[in-house]
Structures are given as structure tokens and as C-alpha cells.
Structure 1
Amino acid sequence: MFLNTSGSKPIYVQIAEWLETEILSGNIQQDEKIYSQYQLADMFNINPATAAKGLNILADASVLYKKRGLGMFVATNAKEMILSKRKNQTLKRLVKDIVIEAEHLNVSENELLQLIQAAYKDRGELE
């Protein structure tokens, strides 16, 4: 993964989102120890404090839990929490933005639904 250092999204948020994606994809399992702030700092060539902020986002959301003296671990229900958050926050926001843009372009609801259905059909080409 590459961090977008010139974008508007803070690096620590990108770190948290990357870790979420790793958990969702099964690369990091429940109750498995997660990378330390120093490992993340080495991996992405960033300040350890920045990496710690990314980890703390997930700890504050209870996606990760701390074991004193051992580090941070993935919570048992982390995958479900991440899926719920991404559906209820990220996906809803994206859909709302698409609807607003469709209105600006005078695209009807039916046309928009057809575009979404076509995207589902062609999703192999999107990757």
C-alpha cells in the first residue's frame, strides 16, 4: 500500500483504513496481534507518533484492544464493526454524493439505478 502524502486525507487516517482493510480481507485475524506503531512507521516510512494515531483511532472504536505490555490485538467482532461502519458511514456518504451529482446532471432516479446495475454487471472491469 502507498500512502497519499499530498492528499487531503491525513496519513494516520489512511493507516487506520489500511488496517481495517487488512482485517476485512482476513490478512489479520481476530485476537491476532496487530503491527506496532514502530513496525508501521518502518513499513510506511512515517513518524511513529503518526502510526500511533492510526492505531488509536481503531482502539478508540474498539476494533483493537490493548494487552498491557504485549501490544494491540484485533477485537473478536472487529470485522463486523468495520463492515457496519463502512456501510453506515462511508457507503451512505458516497451514495448521497452520487445522488447529488446525478441531480446536478439531471439524471433521473431510473437512469441512476441503471448506471449502478451496469456497474455491478461490469464490476470485474472496474478492478
Structure 2
Amino acid sequence: MFDGPEPIYLQIAQMIRAQVLAGELGEEEQVMSTTQFATTFRINPATAAKAFAELVDEGLLYKRRGLGMFVAPGAREKLLGEHRRRYFDEVLDPALAQADILGIPTADVVAYVLGRSGSVAGPADERPAPAGPVRDHLTHPDPKGP
């Protein structure tokens, strides 16, 4: 199960983050113990403990003395905020910068996104053509050829 290039404790932490983000682990829900992790995944209990310590440091888990580890209140919202920020920083900002380099107006990018989601502009094939000389090579091939 843990076969990525990252250390196992980081993979465990990421697995728990994903479960919280997906709503599979809710606020105040108990997380498997280090012993359960060690037995289930055949790993050293210290490895699971290191993952839990990282998640505690991030404010996503907390320990109830004698009971175990639990998902902290607001953990999912915190993860959503981090993932949204990262999406804008790592995906959308570079895409908008590339669109700017290509001369694609932001309004055309927005119209394209709204058209793909079906929110306003309808199906993707009904998207308006970009304003100006920039054309979408998939739906509006250059008549002069490649």
C-alpha cells in the first residue's frame, strides 16, 4: 500500500488528510491507533506515531488522553482552504499567466470555464468564440492551416 517515493509516515499523513478532506473522517471522529495502523499495514508503530505527530502539529488531529487520536474541529475546512489556495497558486495563476502571454482575454477564459461547467454558457460546443484574433484551436481551427 505504501509504495511511493515519500517516507511512509508522510504517506500515512496524506492518507488521513485525504480522508478528512473527503469527509470519510468527520470532526471529533476517532482515528485508528498507532497499534492498529502498525498491525493493519505491517509497519512500525513509531512510523504511524510520527504521522500523527505531524497532523497534530498541523492542527488536524488532537489526542484525548487514554482514548486516542481524534479529528480536530474545523480540520476539513482548514484543509479545504489550503487546497483552494494551492489550486489558485499552482494551477490557476500559471494558467492565467499563460493566457495573458497568448493574448487570451480573462473574459474569454471565464466564458470558457463557465461553458465547460454548464453553469451559464451551456455545453462546451456552444462556447462563444474568443474576442479578437486569438482562436481556440480545438473548436475554431486556423483556416490557414498549422
Q: TM-score range by the shorter chain?
A: 0.5 to 0.7
Tell me which residue corresponds to 2:51: 54
Tell me which residue corresponds to 1:3: 2
TM-score when normalising by structure 2: 0.59
Tell me which residue corresponds to 1:125: none
Aligned AA (1:4): D
- 1:91 lines up with 2:52 in the alignment: no
- 1:23 lines up with 2:20 in the alignment: yes
Distance 1:65 1:56 in 2: 9
Structure 2: segments with no counterpart, 5+ residues: 119-146
Change (3 A) 1:3 1:69: same
Higher RCO structure (Cα 8 Å, ≥6 apart): 1
| Pairs within 5 Å for 1:38-77 | 38-77=35-74
Change (3 A) 1:35 1:5: same
Q: Quick one: which of 18, 33, 38 aligns to 1:36?
A: 33
User: How far apart are 1:60 and its partner, in Å?
Assistant: 0.7
TM-score when normalising by structure 1: 0.67
- Listed one character per residue, the Cα deviations across residues 18-48 of structure 1 (whole Å, up to 9, x for unaligned) are 0011112221111011111111122222111
Distance 2:39 2:94 in 1: 36
Aligned AA (1:91): Y
- Listed one character per residue, the Cα deviations across residues 81-108 of structure 1 (whole Å, up to 9, x for unaligned) are 11122233x4356467889xx7xxx9x8
What is the aligned-residue identity percentage? 35
Change (3 A) 1:46 1:80: same
Structure 1: segments with no counterpart, 5+ residues: 122-127
